[in-house]
Structure 1
Amino acid sequence: VELRYRRCNTVVLSVWVGYREPIIDAWLSESLQQLNTVKKIGVPIRSGFSYKIVIYGLTGDCPAIKLATKHVNHQGYWCCWFCYTKGIHEDKKRQYYFENKLSLRSSFEYFYYSKEVQRTNTNIFGHLSVSPFTTVFDVPLPRSLIIDYMHVSLLRHTKTVIQYLYKNYLKPRERNELDERFRTQSFPHFFNRKMRPVKEFSYCKATGLRNMLLYGLLPLIRPFVPVPVAAHLSLYVTSMRLLHGPRKLGSDTELVANQLISIYYKDHPLFYKKIQNYVLHLHCHLADQYYLHGSLSNLGVFGQESFLGYFSRGRSGTRNLGQIILNNYHVDFTLYNQSQQISNN
C-alpha cells in the first residue's frame, strides 16, 4: 500500500481543470485508447520481459463514480450501483431505509440496461448511458466498482453521526468536555495525526476521523450519551474495525461484520432522524467489497487525495491554470527522475 500511494508511482493519464463537469467521452477517449494499446502490447522492461496490464476496477467518491459510470447521482432514486434499492423522497431529501433482502445488479443486467438506455435515451434503474470504461475494464461492472470508504464512511457518515450526537444529545458543558477529551487524547507517534475537537471538524482530515472512529470515539463519548445510543454506535464501530483489518474471525469476518451493519442500519432511524442517506446504504455492500477486494485499509484513496493536493499546489496566478499546474508538475517530475538517476549512478 505504501508503494502504491507514493507520488512517484502515481501515473497521471489526464487532468480536467474547470468549473463544471466534463463530457466524459470527449475527455477520456484518447486516454482510454492509449490504455487499450498498452494492454495489448504490454510494458517491456530492460531485462527483455514484458508485463501485461490488467485494469482491475474503479474507485473514487460518489460524484466521480457517477460521472465515470454514467449513473444518476447520489440524490437520485436509483443511485445505488450494486442493487435496485429505490430512494424515498422525504423533506426534500432522498432517504434509503433498511431492506431485509437486496436485489443485486448482475453484470449482464448492468450491461443490458446501459445499452437499452443508449438506444431509448431514457433513465432505466439509474442508468444514463454506457460507461466509457467498459472498453478497458478486465472485470465487468458493477463488480469492478470499489467503494471508497474514506469518503463514504469517514468524511461522510462518521462525520455526520458525530455531529448529530454532538448537537442533539450533548449539553453545552458536555460538548466542551468532549472536545477537550478529543484534543488531549494521546496517541503513539506512528499515528501521525491526532483527533480534533468536534467544533473544529471543518479542519478535520480523513486520517483524524479514522483514528476517531476506530479508537477514540466510543470510549470518549460513552459517558455523555444514553446506553442504548452508545450500544447502537458500538455496532458500527465494531463492524468497521472488522472490515478495516485482516480476517480476525477467519472466513466469518465479513459475515459477522455484515450482521452488525444490518442491525445498525435497521435501528438507525430510532436514534437518528432524516440522515438515512445513500452513504449509509452503501455500508450494506461493504461486506461484499471485503470479500472481493480485501480489507478497507487497502481500498481508501488517501494517497490519491494527497497527490491531488500536491498537484493543485502547482497553481499560480489567475489565468491558464491548467497549463500552469501541468507545467509545474512536469518540472517536479523531471527533477525527481534526474535525482534518482544520479543516486543510482
Structure 2
Amino acid sequence: MSKRNACDTGLLHKKTVKRRVKNELLMEEKVKELRVIAASELLHSNCDAIDSPPTDLLASSSVIRSPQPSTSSNSESIKSLFDQNKDGNTASQVVQLNHGEVSSEDTSEIENCYSAVSSSNIEHQQHGLLDQHDCNSDDSAISDTEDDEIVQLHHSVYLPLLSISFYLGNSLTKVALAGHLKILNIATHHSIKKLASPFTLMSKYDSRKTSFKIQYVCREKQCKQLLVCGGDGHPTLLQNCGHKHIRNNSHCCFILQLPIEQQLLYFMEHHGLPELLQQVDPNIRSDVNSGTMYRKLVESGVINSFTITLQVNADGASCYRKSKYSFWPLMALINDVPYKLRRSYIILLALWFGNKKPPRDAFLGESITELRRLENDGFLFKGILYKIRVLVVTTDTVARPLLLNTSQFNGECGCNFCLHPGERVSKGKGGTRVYPEPNPDDEDPTNYPLRSKDQHLLDLEFVLRTGKPRNGIMGPTPLMNLPDLDFVKAFVPEYMHAVCQGVFKQYTGLLTSTKDGNGKKPWFVGIRRSSNKMKVINMKLSQAKVPYEITRIVESFDDFSDYKASMFRTFFLYLFPVLENVLPQVYFRHVCNLSYAIYALLQEQISVEDVIKVGVLLKYVVLDFESLYGKKNVGINVHFLTHLSQSVIDWGCLWSTSTFIPESFNGELLTLCKGTQNLIKQMASNYMLKSVLRDEVLQLLKNNKVPSPVHSLFTELLHLPHSRELSKGNIVSNGKIKLLGRASPRSITIEEEVAIRNYMTKNIGLRPFLDYLAPSNKINFSGDNSWEDSWAGFERNIFARTHQWDGFLFDSWINNETGWPVSNYCV
C-alpha cells in the first residue's frame, strides 16, 4: 500500500476501492475505522460542508465493524491503534464496504474520538489529503506493497463544481439545473448536502456577487435621453424627452454598469500582481510594451511598477435572429500579464442592450468616471497603492467613429488615422467612397498627414465655435476625460476586422461574385462548384494538410460566406498557393505580396527595419489593388493596409491589439444566457460566476488528482487551457521547418540536404522586393542576393518559418535562373 493510501478519502463512498496487498496480514478493524474518521474529517474541512462532526456522511457510508468495546475507552483505544500503525507494527487491509451498517451507537463513538484524531493530523491536511510523510513515517512498512495505485479526490469535492460547470457550459435554466441535481442526489444517496438544491449549490458564491447599476435610455431611434425611474426602479410613464414608455422592461434600452475596482482586486488576489512587462530591444516590436507609445509613457514616469495598463474594446453583437435588438459589451484587457492569462480573464465594464447603437456619453460616462478615479486616486491592495492607465482602444470600423465622435467611413475624412478625404465614385446602381493611394512615383504626389491629438483638439475647437464639422471631427468624446490618454493614437486599425473580415473577404468576393461585371474579369474563378477552376481549388483544399496550430480548417472555397475571420486568415496566410495556375500570374503574385506582408506583421517579434519595409510593400499592394481591380474596390479596409505598419511601430505586432479575444468573449456571453428576458443581467451575473468557478476549478485540478473523464469534462465545459498534440499528418522539426502532409519517411539526397541548409542559412528577408526598389533609391540596403539553391527532384512542399520570412517553396518557384519567380516586387 502506498503512502498516499493512508489518506484515501474514498473510504466515505458506498463502494470504496479494493486495495490489494502482497502480504496476507490479518485486518485490524480499529485501524480501518480510524482512517475513515480521519479522512472524513479532512474531506469536510476542505469542502466546508459542515462545521460539526460528519455523522450524516458516515451514516451513509458502509464499514464492516466488529463488536464495539465500551464507549468510554473508544478514543484512547483507537488513538493507540493509530499510533501503533504509524510505527509500522500493524498492517491493515481494506475490504469492500456495504451500505447502511453504521448504527447510531457507532456514530456517537466516532464523534467522541473525532477531536482526538484531528488534533494531531489536521495541520497536515492540504486539499482533502493528508501529507504523505505524516501519514506513514516509516518507509519499511510499505516497502513490499503496490506503488502504482493512484489516490483520487472524492466525488463530493468535484461534483458540486462539475454541476455548476454543466449548468453554465450548456446554458441550462434553473429548472433544468434542479432536475439535474435530483438525479445526482439519487445516485449519491443524498450524501452531498451541496447538491440538495440550486440555492444551496450557489450559496457559496453569494458573497462574491457583483452589484450592478442599471441606467435606462429612451428607445426612440434619435433620442439619447436617460430615463427617470420611479421608486420601484422602473422608468416612469412620462419622461422629459416627451416619449411615453411601457412600465415593464421588455422593450427598454438600458446600460448595465459593473464595478471595475472589485474585478481588479479579485484578479490580483487570485492571479498575482501584474508586473511591468520586461523591456525588449527598442529595435524590436512584439507585445504592447515594445511599442513606441508605451516606451514614452515609461520614460515620462506615467507607467511604473505600480501601474496596471488596459486596452479597452467595444463592439456589438446580435442577441436574436431577425431582431433589431443587440448588445454591446464594453470590456478591458490587462496588458501587464502574459498573453494566455490576458485571454482568459477579461474585465467587464458595461453592457448595452437596445434596438439601436448605444448613446456615446451614456455608454461610456460611468465607466470613464471610475477609470478616471482609478487613474488619479488609485486603489489599495495589500497596503500598496496601484493606479491604472488606459493605453489602447480596439474597435471595428463601425464602432470607432461612434466612440470618437467622428464621421463614418463612408463620409468625408472617414479615416480615423490620416486626413485622407476619400473620393466618391459610382459602383453598381449607387456610389461608394474610396481611398486611392497616391502614387509615390508621380512628380508631385499628394501626401495626407497622420492625425494627431493636437490637430484633433484644434479641429474640435473649430467645431464647437462654428457648429460645423472639420476633418471628420463631429464633436467631443468622453475619452478626452482620461488623463494621459492619447485618444487619437490609442485607436488602431485592428487587423481582424480590417484585414481578415475586410480585405481577405473582399478578395474572395471579387473572385466568386458576378456583381458589377466581375463574371467577365480575368480574376473570376466561378460560382459555387459549377466551374472547373472552383473544382480545382476545392480539390487542392481537400488535400491540404495545415500546421497543427490551425484549429479551423478550410475545406471548400465556395462556402466563403460562412467563413469566420480565422478561416479567412488561414486561407490567405497558409493555403493561398491553391490559387496558383488558377489565377493569372499577376493576380496570384498580388495575393502573395499581401499574404507575406500580413504574416510578417503577425510574427511573435519583428525588427523595426522590417516593419518599415513591409509598410512600403503594403503601399504598393494598395496601388496595385487599384490597377488590378479598379478604383471602386479600394475601400476603407484596403486603405487601412497603409496604416498597419505604423500601428506596429506604436503598439507592437498586430496580434497584441487584435479583437480576436473580445470577439470570442462576445460569443461566450451569448452562451451564458437563456430565454428572452433579462439577457444582459444573465450575462453579467453568470460571467462573474464563471470567472470565480474557473479559478476554483483550476486550483482544484492543480493540487489534486481527479479522474481523467472529470478533468476532460471540466476542460470542455469551462474552456480550460489544454495542450494540443500534433496529429499524425504533421511533423515539426526544430521550429524552422514544418513538413505539410502525411508523413512519408524517406532518405533525402545530398542535393536536397545542401539546398535546405543553404536556404535556411541565408538572410532572405525582403531581398527580391528590395532589388526592385533599389534603382529608385526608395530603400537603402546591402547584402548578397545571389540564389544557388538546387531543388531538383524534391517533390515535398515545405513550409518554412523564421522571424523574417514565410512562404511556400515549390519546385516551379525555385528552378529558374534567379531562384525566385518574381516580377516587379513579388516576394
Same fold at TM > 0.5: yes
Once residues 60 and 254 of structure 1 are traced to their aligned partners in structure 2, the CA distance between those partners, rounded to angstroms, is 23
- Larger fraction in helix: 1
Instruction: Check 1:120–1:184 CA distance in 2 against 1; reply closer, same or farther (3 A cut).
Output: farther
Once residues 347 and 460 of structure 2 are traced to their aligned partners in structure 1, the CA distance between those partners, rounded to angstroms, is 29
SS at match of 1:50: strand
Q: Which residue of 1 aligns with 2:629?
A: 272
2:416 equivalent among 81, 93, 107: 81
Instruction: Check 1:137–1:279 CA distance in 2 against 1; reply closer, same or farther (3 A cut).
Output: farther
SS at match of 2:484: coil
Q: Which residue of 1 aligns with 2:455?
A: 109
Deviations 1:239-285 (A, max 9, x none): 1122111555x332112111111111112122213211011111111
Q: Which residue of 2 aligns with 1:149?
A: 495
Once residues 355 and 538 of structure 2 are traced to their aligned partners in structure 1, the CA distance between those partners, rounded to angstroms, is 36
- Give the stretch that moved more between structures: 113-122 or 202-211: 113-122
Which structure 1 residue ranges, 5 or more long, are not aligned?
none
Once residues 178 and 150 of structure 1 are traced to their aligned partners in structure 2, the CA distance between those partners, rounded to angstroms, is 24
Once residues 222 and 239 of structure 1 are traced to their aligned partners in structure 2, the CA distance between those partners, rounded to angstroms, is 18
Q: What pairs with 1:322-333 in structure 2 (closer than 5 Å)? A: 322-333=680-691
SS at match of 2:643: helix
- Give the stretch that moved more between structures: 321-330 or 78-87: 321-330
User: Which of structure 1's runs of 4+ aligned residues deviate more than 3 A?
Assistant: 333-345
8 Å contact from structure 2 (residues 597, 614) kept in 1 = yes
8 Å contact from structure 1 (residues 196, 208) kept in 2 = no
Q: Which residue of 2 aligns with 1:170?
A: 525
SS at match of 2:394: strand
8 Å contact from structure 1 (residues 72, 128) kept in 2 = yes
1:300 equivalent among 658, 669, 687: 658
Q: Percent identity?
A: 23
Once residues 483 and 398 of structure 2 are traced to their aligned partners in structure 1, the CA distance between those partners, rounded to angstroms, is 20
2:436 equivalent among 84, 97, 102: 97
Q: Does 1:30 align with 2:366?
A: yes
Q: What pairs with 1:1-345 in structure 2 (closer than 5 Å)? A: 1-6=339-344, 9-46=345-382, 48-91=383-426, 92-99=431-438, 100=440, 101-136=447-482, 138-167=484-513, 168-171=523-526, 172-217=531-576, 219-246=577-604, 248=606, 250-273=607-630, 274-339=632-697
1:335 deviates by 3.2
1:146 deviates by 1.5
8 Å contact from structure 1 (residues 117, 129) kept in 2 = yes
The CA RMSD measured in Å over matched residues stands at 2.1
SS at match of 2:351: coil
Give the structure, 1 or 2, with the largest relative contact order (CA under 8 Å, sep 6 or more): 1
Task: Report the count of equivalent residues.
Answer: 340
Which structure 2 residue ranges, 5 or more long, are not aligned?
1-338, 441-446, 514-522, 704-827
Deviations 1:131-150 (A, max 9, x none): 11121252313111112100
Aligned-partner residue type, residue 535 of structure 2: N
SS at match of 1:256: helix
Instruction: Check 1:180–1:115 CA distance in 2 against 1; reply closer, same or farther (3 A cut).
Output: farther
- Give the stretch that moved more between structures: 288-297 or 132-141: 132-141
Instruction: Check 1:339–1:232 CA distance in 2 against 1; reply closer, same or farther (3 A cut).
Output: closer
8 Å contact from structure 2 (residues 612, 645) kept in 1 = yes
Aligned-partner residue type, residue 473 of structure 2: H
Once residues 690 and 558 of structure 2 are traced to their aligned partners in structure 1, the CA distance between those partners, rounded to angstroms, is 37
- Give the stretch that moved more between structures: 96-105 or 294-303: 96-105
8 Å contact from structure 2 (residues 479, 487) kept in 1 = no
Deviations 1:99-147 (A, max 9, x none): 2422222221112212332343322111111111121252313111112
Instruction: Check 1:49–1:343 CA distance in 2 against 1; reply closer, same or farther (3 A cut).
Output: farther
- Give the stretch that moved more between structures: 219-228 or 135-144: 135-144
Once residues 628 and 599 of structure 2 are traced to their aligned partners in structure 1, the CA distance between those partners, rounded to angstroms, is 22
SS at match of 1:16: strand
Aligned-partner residue type, residue 136 of structure 1: L
Instruction: Check 1:10–1:114 CA distance in 2 against 1; reply closer, same or farther (3 A cut).
Output: same
Once residues 245 and 187 of structure 1 are traced to their aligned partners in structure 2, the CA distance between those partners, rounded to angstroms, is 18
Q: Which residue of 1 aligns with 2:181?
A: none
8 Å contact from structure 1 (residues 57, 137) kept in 2 = no
Aligned-partner residue type, residue 574 of structure 2: Y
1:334 deviates by 4.2
